[in-house]
Amino acid sequence: MPARKPAKKSTKKAAKSKAAQPTTGAVPPYGEAIRGAMARGDAQEMKDVAANARKWMTDVQSALKQLEGATKKKK
């Protein structure tokens, strides 16, 4: 069994860099999903993709309002 390498110590710079990175997941690629559904011409798929995109946009707009409210409180 090979020996384990010791963990590297983090530096302040590395910690600062990690803190600046967003903690959210990937953004759904609705542009590609919409274009793909249109290219396939499946009406039900297009309706489903449109409904999912609208819900996602509503969720994002709500989160953005919350974020803007939080940033105003921090000033």
Domain positions in the chain are 29-74
- DSSP assignment letter at 24: S
Q: What CA–CA distances, in Å, run from 8 to 4, 11, 69?
A: 12, 9, 39
For the chain, give the mean pLDDT: 78
Residue among 19, 50, 20, 18 at smallest CA distance from 33 = 50
Q: In which band, very low, low, confident or very high, does the pLDDT at 40 lie, cut at 50, 70 and 90? A: very high
Q: How many CB atoms lie within 10 A of CB 37?
A: 19
pTM: 0.55
Output the pLDDT for position 1: 53
Q: Which long-range contacts (CB under 8 A, 24 or more apart) does 2-11 make?
A: none
